[in-house]
């Protein structure tokens, strides 16, 4: 059995937030790969739901937007695999990641991203993006002109030679272009968004270039991003601010710890009617007899064999399963 208690969950989530791969975490903790992956997905859903509800009516003044590239399963693949982009918006003052979106780098994604950003704000803001063309139509559609918007268009030199193709073209300058309202010239910048994306790439192995730690499933990739933003916003103290971005933005008045994150996950599980365990009676594929399988919330399975018939297995569940569960939890706590 590989049932996880709260302490084990906190340890695994902390390792995920610090950039460890699932394979490395299985070696460090002894938890199975399926258990870690299941915990990641559940935590991702919980973090996304919590922040979607909490990050509302924000009094930001200056927001910067950018996109970061990665891929799922294989580069330039069709359907549910291939290149994916994470769109991010960060408050330049509190460093809070206000909104993010996983999708393609096209107009549809830009529209969804900017509309989500607009829905979280309580006042007029100044926005800076890079020179990606879809931002022009998307910002206008989402904000309707009630925004001070500018683009920072970077200028690049010649592309590197083929033998060094992993080195990007050198940036030789940037041009500021106001697009809407009256943006302050000195605040036309995307440096905080770019630094935030660098943190994302360094703290998630699946974003690291030229490794085999890339995401194999879109759901896992999205869950990792949601968990990272939760950790970045609520748990990790910003070196300059000396508090977390969520505290600086007035979203929370306390410094979150991993135990708080686990407690939030447990509340999400209860709200989504996820039982801690389930009993399933199975008939042997070969020969006569039945078994009882215990399906744990973390994805692990225990089996009790030796029942002559289904009635005997159901009787064990009614009369003896609670004592077995107590022994199983005690044995797991001693590990």
DSSP 129-143: E-S-THHHHHHHHHH
Where is pLDDT greater, at 314 or 218?
Answer: 314
Contact 183, 38 (CB under 8 A): no
197-213: per-residue pLDDT in tens? 888 877 776 666 555 55
Cβ-contact 86, 70 below 8 angstroms: yes
Cα gap 318→298, rounded to integer Å: 23
Of the pLDDT bands very low, low, confident and very high (cuts 50, 70, 90), residue 246 is very high
Q: Is 245 helix (H, G, I), strand (E, B) or coil?
A: helix
The number of CA neighbours under 13 Å toward the Cβ of 221 is: 26
267-305 per-position pLDDT tens digit:
898 788 667 788 899 888 777 888 999 888 767 788 898
> What is the pLDDT, as a whole number, of residue 274?
64
Q: Which residue has the higher pLDDT, 289 or 233?
A: 233
Residue 166 has pLDDT above 70, yes or no: no
Phi, psi of 321 (to 5 degrees): -65, -35
DSSP string, 54-75: HS-SB--SEEEEEEEEEEESST
pLDDT at 333 over 70: no
Backbone angles phi, psi at 60, to 5 degrees: -70, 155
Chain Cα centroid distance, residue 120: 19
Is the confidence at residue 328, as pLDDT, over 60? yes
Confidence of residue 49 (pLDDT cuts 50, 70, 90): very high
Please report how many Cα atoms fall inside a 13 Å half-sphere around the Cα of residue 262, on the Cβ side.
14
| Ramachandran angles phi, psi of 31, nearest 5° | -70, 150
Residues 6+ apart with CB under 8 A from 74: 81, 82
Q: What is the pLDDT of residue 1?
A: 38
Query: Which of the residue ranges 66-80, 143-157, 282-296 would you say has the lowest mean pLDDT?
Result: 66-80
Distance, CA of 333 to CA of 335 (rounded, Å): 6
Helix (H/G/I), strand (E/B), else coil: 175:
strand
CA dihedral 83, 89, 90, 92 (to 10 degrees): 120
Residue 80 has pLDDT above 70, yes or no: no
Task: Kindly give the pairing relationship between strand 62-72 and strand 126-129.
Answer: parallel
């Amino acid at each position: 059995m590989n049932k996880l208690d709260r302490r084990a969950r906190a340890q695994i989530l902390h390792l995920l937030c610090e950039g460890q791969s699932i394979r490395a975490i299985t070696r460090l903790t002894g938890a199975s790969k399926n258990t870690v992956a299941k915990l990641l997905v559940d935590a991702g859903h919980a973090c996304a739901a919590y922040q979607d509800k909490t990050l509302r009516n924000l009094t930001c003044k200056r927001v910067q937007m950018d996109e970061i590239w990665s891929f799922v399963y294989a580069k330039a693949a069709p359907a549910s695999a291939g290149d994916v982009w994470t769109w991010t918006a960060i408050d330049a003052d509190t460093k809070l990641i206000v909104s993010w979106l996983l999708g393609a780098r096209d107009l549809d994604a830009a529209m969804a991203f900017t509309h989500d950003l607009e829905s979280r704000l309580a006042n007029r803001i100044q926005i800076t993006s890079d020179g990606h063309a879809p931002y022009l139509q998307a910002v206008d559609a989402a904000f309707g002109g009630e925004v001070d918007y500018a683009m920072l268009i970077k200028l690049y030199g010649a592309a590197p030679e083929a033998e060094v193709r992993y080195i990007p073209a050198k940036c030789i300058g940037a041009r500021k272009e106001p697009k809407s309202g009256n943006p302050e010239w000195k605040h036309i910048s995307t440096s905080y968004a770019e630094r935030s994306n660098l943190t994302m790439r360094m703290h998630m192995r699946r974003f690291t270039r030229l490794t085999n730690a890339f995401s194999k499933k879109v759901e896992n990739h999205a869950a990792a991003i949601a968990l990272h933003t939760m950790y970045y916003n609520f748990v990790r103290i910003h070196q300059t601010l000396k508090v977390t971005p969520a505290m600086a933005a007035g979203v929370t008045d306390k410094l979150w710890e991993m135990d708080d994150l686990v407690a939030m996950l447990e509340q999400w599980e209860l709200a989504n009617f996820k039982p801690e365990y389930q009993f399933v009676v199975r008939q042997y594929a070969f020969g006569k007899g039945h078994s009882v399988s215990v399906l744990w919330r973390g994805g692990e399975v225990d089996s009790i064999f030796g029942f002559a018939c289904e009635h005997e297995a159901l009787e064990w569940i009614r009369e003896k399963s609670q004592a077995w569960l107590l022994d199983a939890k005690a044995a797991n706590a001693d590990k």
